[in-house]
């Protein structure tokens, strides 16, 4: 028997490794086995279900569908946590309606989950998949299934924050900010790297202009008019270049932490008239899934302890203060346009963003 423990990074626990492997399996459409004390669960992501997988799960028997409290609320069941619905047969149309249709209603009793079943939902969120899974109790381990423990899923985020490390940095001249540098960090949740853009030469002994910018492919890269993300990013680079420099943390948190695929699904619902938060709720998500512990750790590794945060989101301010940083804020806002004005107003009214926008009335 060979001892390969030395091949794993010293900071990495085997539990965290098993979670990362489970994330990769679920994103590839393969089931995993989740264990907690005497419980074994087969976990299959509901959004990946096809006829072949449905037939296989039906042959095993005993499948149940777990849904988040937000999705259950849209189905007409108000709960303060997730719930389970029995699946006497694994019917693709029924399951698709229960996890995606905006007009679907609950069609069976809902029962509360045990901790292992709740951990399955958290694992799906880490994988940037819809928070909906088919679960089957197993009597014994199944060969070929990646095994992951519920306790390791719950501890994963905190462990990954402490394992975050700087991989490399290099000068990268930017338009409007030719004296800039990009630093890359590894160890973020879900196998995703994070980046910091250091604009100019900020004085780290004083308050440093900082922006926590969640990646937005549609706005940052393609100039989408549905949001103000690209505007905020480009304005921040220009401002920092002209005002003593600063640090932009470019965080892989697409769609408020829900992932790109969910974001595009939500855009489809918005095209039908739902606002940004209602669209996310239909898909099973709360107002905002983002966490900013990684951002605080990145700033610590860069030597930043005092922050002048460029944001309109009070939750970002609270998160950095909770992490022990000294934080003042500087308001930032993108351009209101006919395409994003209702989006900005919704963020102001429903999530408390500090935005100055006026929604035109029919008479205007």
Contacts of residue 27, defined as CB under 8 A and 6 or more positions apart, other chains included, come to: 127, 128, 129
Q: Which is the catalytic residue, given 211, 290, 297, 308? A: 290
Q: Which is the catalytic residue, given 288, 300, 329, 349? A: 288
Give the angle 219-222-228 at the CA atoms, nearest 5°.
20
**Can 288 be counted among the known catalytic residues?**
yes
Evaluate whether 302 touches 195 at the Cβ level (below 8 Å): no
**Can 290 be counted among the known catalytic residues?**
yes
DSSP letter, residue 113 = P
DSSP letter, residue 274 = -
Instruction: State the DSSP H helix or E strand holding residue 24, giving kind and residue range, or none if neither.
Output: helix 14-27
**What is the C-alpha separation between 233 and 104, in angstroms, rounded?**
38
Contacts of residue 307, defined as CB under 8 A and 6 or more positions apart, other chains included, come to: 207, 208, 210, 299, 320, 325, 326, 327, 328
| 3-state SS assignment for residue 356 | coil
CB atoms < 10 A from the CB of 257, how many? 20
Residues annotated as catalytic (active site), given as ranges: 288, 290
């Amino acid at each position: 028997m060979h001892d390969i423990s030395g091949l794993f990074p010293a900071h990495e626990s085997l539990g965290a490794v098993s979670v990362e492997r489970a994330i990769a399996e679920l994103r590839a459409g393969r089931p995993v086995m989740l264990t907690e004390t005497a419980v074994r669960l087969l976990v299959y992501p509901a959004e990946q279900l096809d006829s072949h997988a449905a037939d296989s799960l039906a042959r095993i028997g005993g499948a149940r569908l777990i849904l988040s409290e937000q999705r259950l609320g849209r189905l007409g069941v108000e709960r303060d946590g997730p719930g389970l619905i029995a699946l006497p047969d694994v019917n693709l149309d029924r399951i698709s309606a229960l996890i995606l249709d905006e007009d679907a209603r609950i069609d069976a009793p809902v029962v509360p989950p045990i901790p292992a079943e709740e951990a399955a939902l958290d694992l799906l969120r880490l994988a940037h998949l819809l928070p909906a899974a088919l679960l089957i109790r197993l009597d014994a381990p199944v060969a070929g299934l990646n095994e992951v423990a519920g306790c390791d899923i719950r501890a994963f985020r905190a462990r990954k924050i402490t394992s975050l490390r700087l991989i490399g940095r290099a000068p990268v001249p930017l338009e409007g900010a030719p004296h800039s540098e990009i630093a890359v960090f590894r160890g973020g949740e879900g196998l995703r790297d994070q980046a910091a853009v250091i604009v100019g030469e900020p004085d780290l002994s004083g308050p440093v202009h900082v922006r926590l910018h969640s990646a937005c492919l549609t706005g940052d890269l393609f100039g989408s008019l549905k949001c103000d993300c690209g505007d905020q990013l480009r304005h921040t680079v220009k401002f920092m270049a002209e005002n003593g420099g600063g640090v932009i943390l470019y965080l892989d948190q697409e769609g408020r932490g829900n992932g790109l695929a969910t974001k595009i699904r939500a855009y489809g619902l918005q095209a039908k008239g739902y606002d940004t938060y209602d669209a996310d709720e239909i898909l099973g998500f709360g107002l905002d899934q983002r966490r900013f512990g990684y951002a605080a750790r990145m700033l610590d590794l860069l030597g930043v302890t005092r922050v002048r945060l460029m944001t309109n989101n009070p939750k970002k301010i609270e998160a950095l203060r909770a992490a022990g940083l000294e934080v003042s804020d500087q308001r930032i806002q993108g351009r209101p346009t006919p395409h994003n004005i209702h989006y900005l107003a919704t963020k102001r009214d429903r999530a408390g963003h500090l935005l100055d926008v006026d929604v035109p009335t029919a008479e205007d």
